[in-house]
Amino acid sequence: MCELLGMSANVPTDICFSFTGLVQRGGVTGPHVDGWGITFYEGRGCRSFKDPQPSCESKVAELVKAFPIKSEAVIGHIRQANRGQVSLENTHPFTRELWGQNWTYAHNGQLSGYKKLDTGWYRPVGDTDSELAFCWILEQLRQKYPRKPGNMAAAFKFIASLGRQLRELGVFNMLLSNGEYVMAFCSTNLHWITRRAPFGEAKLMDADVTIDFKKETTPNDVVTMIATQPLTSNEQWHKIEPGDYVLFKHGELVIC
């Protein structure tokens, strides 16, 4: 299956270190060779980089690794295709507008019977179960909340209930963000770690790279990373329980 990568931070932060580890799983240390993508939020806008080529061979991935794009919310994905052909339109993450915000989503898993889902206002561009499920989630949100809700935590709790419905159709691990919040819903495997002062060193599992975060941060920085499997070998990651979710805002855990 695919692998997910997410970040929530209280200050604009680059994801070069974690992304360096993830891209190795796209053909070197892992079998996820059917494309990759990553979306960075900047204020109300977002910029996405996608490539249907393996991440370990992608010149675009080399650019992202080398260029320290700073963001407070990031959604990334490397793909091992099971529904839909290998193509740019089927490459995660997917982004749509809701309540005047860019919502970005990436999925790891495989669903059955998903074509029965009514996506209403939203239409998938590609032919994956993942994108169709995203359109269905947004349509359910649009119907329940015609306007942006005042209590966003309650809205994400509702999204978690939708995730549990989708989990009944198969494996549904998901990352979702509107640029302010980053949500992770777990069906089988998702892990997270929050880094804050006192910062230390971290060593990637998939590449011979070590970073001393103390030299790259300030004492006030809070950065949470989310990944399908832990990316570092010398840190304690938290596993999300199947059927549960976590929600982060500016790096801090809001609901678990």
Catalytic residue numbers read: 2
68 to each of 19, 127, 202, 242, how far by Cα in Å?
11, 32, 18, 33
Beta strands per DSSP E along the chain: 3-13, 36-42, 45-51, 71-78, 94-98, 101-108, 173-177, 181-185, 191-196, 201-203, 210-212, 222-227, 238-239, 245-249, 252-255
Q: Checking DSSP bridges between strand 201-203 and strand 181-185, what pairing results, if any? A: unpaired
Size of the chain in residues: 256
d(C-alpha 179, C-alpha 164), whole Å:
23
